[in-house]
A and B are shown apart, each in its own frame.
Chain A
Amino acid sequence: MSKGLPETRTDAAMSELVPEPRPKPVVPMKPVSINANLLGYIGIDTIIEQMRKKTMKTGFDFNIMVVGQSGLGKSTLVNTLFKSQVSRKSSSWNREEKIPKTVEIKAVGHVIEEGGVKMKLTVIDTPGFGDQINNENCWEPIEKYINEQYEKFLKEEVNIARKKRIPDTRVHCCLYFISPTGHSLRPLDLEFMKHLSKVVNIIPVIAKADTMTLEEKSEFKQRVRKELEVHGIEFYPQKEFDEDLEDKTENDKIRQESMPFAVVGSDKEYQVNGKRVLGRKTPWGIIEVENLHHCEFALLRDFVIRTHLQDLKEVTHNIHYETYRAKRLNDNGGLPPVSVDTEGSHDSNP
């Protein structure tokens, strides 16, 4: 089989379950055309298959954090995303459990398997966020937790005898739940996203979107997008990390049209037109969670899991973590001197 040199980067992005363990280079890779005329099939393209086998053996980690006021359907949405009971719903709390006085961080891990691939999923919940009368600085425990995970990773990295595979507890993705008021963002939403968009990938999501009609939804989304732009809040996918034109057009479309995703979550199934679908049954109709005419849950799921999962991890590792690391090493807390290029060729967040 005589093939030209494949565009390995594009192929990796197209295939769904093959993660690339090596970090993506910042400079876009152009196909090397020096040895354009191959005399025969070498077999370089089998590296993808090799990587796939390795990943299937080791599995991979994914840590997702959910932030938002209590009752916005965070746990239900996570359960719907991963089609399993990975998050304990607060509506099933017993009566004595009250809203916590300060924001707590609860991380629960599960191992999910699909098609021979194992994923260690950790869902980090933040009960108590935005629920008190005085919510000043309620994002601080969250920011602290995220930085602690970076610190843990950094410590492992600078060890002399490093582990073969450093356990990755860094938060790869933070779903921020916006309350569907229909007016605009609340001051607390803005404050949180301003502070946290610099340390973690934030994906804003409009919760309980079955409250809004189609016109209200599109107006609200436009207003939210405009407000985020006016305040310079870079949510994931961030514009400055688009690597090439293809990425840029794909992400632009998502940024300007679909985000923030207006979602509805459910863990109950109903019969619609002979099919069993996940949905919510109201006296005036059944809301189907995976129907794109009803809500954008399917778009969110495809975005987070089927197309950008690996990218989320990479941006966390290459950009957010590197920013933290550079800052840490500059301050040089009690770490042993490491010969690292602290000026770095990586783009760091402003």
Chain B
Amino acid sequence: MDSLAAPQDRLVEQLLSPRTQAQRRLKDIDKQYVGFATLPNQVHRKSVKKGFDFTLMVAGESGLGKSTLVHSLFLTDLYKDRKLLNAEERISQTVEILKHTVDIEEKGVKLKLTIVDTPGFGDAVNNSECWKPITDYVDQQFEQYFRDESGLNRKNIQDNRVHCCLYFISPFGHGLRPVDVGFMKAVHEKVNIVPLIAKADCLVPCEVRKLKERIREEIDKFGIHVYQFPECDSDEDEDFKQQDRELKESAPFAVIGSNTVVEAKGQRVRGRLYPWGIVEVENQAHCDFVKLRNMLIRTHMHDLKDVTCDVHYENYRAHCIQQMTSKLTQDSRMESPIPILPLPTPDAETEKLIRMKDEELRRMQEMLQKMKQQIQDQ
């Protein structure tokens, strides 16, 4: 009996986190514990096998260093064969949506990264509604996921929903431009927006501070909902809380990207070489690139996906279903493949119908009463 139990015990030991192991050793009650403390690690192993996916959208005027930043973040060059258009070609250019997918692996964890690029945004002379192709794309991805979810075979749903949108704000302005406000307001209920100040190496530290303040004020003023970092739990240690506070205070991040590695103080660093000095991308005193990378990849990637699923997608889904049911009450003969949810508040048309039916019922009841009376009198 004991020889059978031993290998399983060892497996359980492996699955337990160090904290639980320590606790067990302290309490010495291994005969009495149930063992579901291993669940997180079971989930972990399964997910690592399955791999993760993440869709990141980058938006902003051309020339703000978007592709350079993506290159610096993920250390892969997705834009080798890109052809830059000259100004004349761009006059009649509409906003395109380009997807690049790359599979990255690190320490056994696989990530399928999709970058959605939006060339042409904000470049034309007349940029009215230039964000429409982008909102259409985001809605399309939601629609496709909605259909797949309601379909018969739900095993291998491809999740192409956009989890995060990095929006590049030009450092040359005095805050948000009208195009920036227009875009963010069109998209903030559909996607997590992380605003960034691009090409931050053209600003001195006090200018960065002023610009960040100004942008934060304007985001409040225009009622734009950017991605909020979740509050950290009260039982986290002080270091973590301090980091979290710093993160929240530095938003929007002022970033610099670089495709080149230069020599600085005897070390090879990723940076930009100017006649007056070297800007190091990974130096926290120079820019917020490290904060962005940590936030996006190392700490908040999963939260971004969660918020997309739980908030933005649910909003879309509720809106979609409401639209469908209101269409159905107008045309009641149509059979719906999806079960109709009862509407929380009936809209004006159905209320009118209900009232009319009530009136009819009352009239008929009155007539019945009269007839009954007549029969009784007879």
Contacts and interface: CB of A to CB of B under 8 A. Distances in A.
Interface of A: 69-73, 90-91, 93, 95, 99, 131-136, 179-191, 207-208, 210-211, 213-214, 223, 227, 230-231, 280-288, 293-294
Contacts of A187: 87-88, 90-91, 123-125
A90 B172 CA distance: 12
Nearest to A132: B178
B286 interface: yes
The 4 closest A-B pairs by CB, nearest first: A181-B63, A285-B277, A284-B277, A285-B276
Interface in B64-96: 64, 84-88, 90-91
A71 B180 CA distance: 15
A70 B174 contact: yes
A155 to B, nearest CB: 34
A227 B87 contact: yes
Contacts of A190: 87-88, 91
A69 B85 CA distance: 21
Given A133-B179, A134-B127, A188-B125, A182 B63 contact: yes
A214 B275 contact: yes
Contacts of B87: 184-187, 189-190, 227
A183 B127 contact: no
Contacts of B178: 99, 131-133
B86 A184 contact: yes
Interface in B278-305: 278-280, 285-286
Contact of A231 (B85, B88, B205): B88
B201 A211 contact: yes
A99 B179 CA distance: 12
Contacts of A282: 201, 204-205, 276-277
Interface string B133-154: 0000000000000000000000
Given A187-B124, A282-B204, A283-B285, A288 B276 contact: yes
Nearest to A282: B204
Contacts of B275: 214, 293-294
For this complex, into which size category does the number of interface residues on chain B fall? 35 or more
B177 interface: yes
Contacts of A283: 205, 285-286
B125 A71 contact: no
A285 B274 contact: yes
B202 A210 contact: yes
Given A186-B90, A187-B123, 9 more contacts: A90-B174, A133-B179, A180-B202, A181-B61, A184-B84, A188-B125, A227-B86, A282-B205, A285-B276
B172 A207 contact: yes
Main secondary structure of the interface of A (DSSP, over half): loop
Interface string B151-182: 00000000000000000001011100111001
A284 B278 contact: yes
A191 B277 CA distance: 36
Contacts of B84: 183-184
Main secondary structure of the interface of B (DSSP, over half): loop
Contacts of B279: 284
Given A135-B125, A179-B63, A189-B87, A210 B274 contact: yes
B324 interface: no
B373 interface: no
B128 interface: yes
A69 B86 contact: no
B317 interface: no
Contacts of A211: 199, 201-202
B273 interface: yes
Contacts of A69: 172-173
Contacts of A70: 173-174
A350 B85 CA distance: 29
B182 A72 contact: no
B76 to A, nearest CB: 21
B332 to A, nearest CB: 43
A286 B275 CA distance: 10
Nearest to B179: A133
B276 A286 contact: yes
A124 B182 CA distance: 30
B206 to A, nearest CB: 9
Contacts of B273: 213
B141 to A, nearest CB: 25
B272 interface: yes
Nearest to A185: B87
A211 B200 CA distance: 8
16 contacts: A133-B182, A134-B125, A179-B63, A180-B202, A181-B64, A184-B86, A185-B87, A187-B124, A191-B91, A208-B172, A227-B87, A282-B204, A283-B285, A284-B201, A284-B279, A285-B277
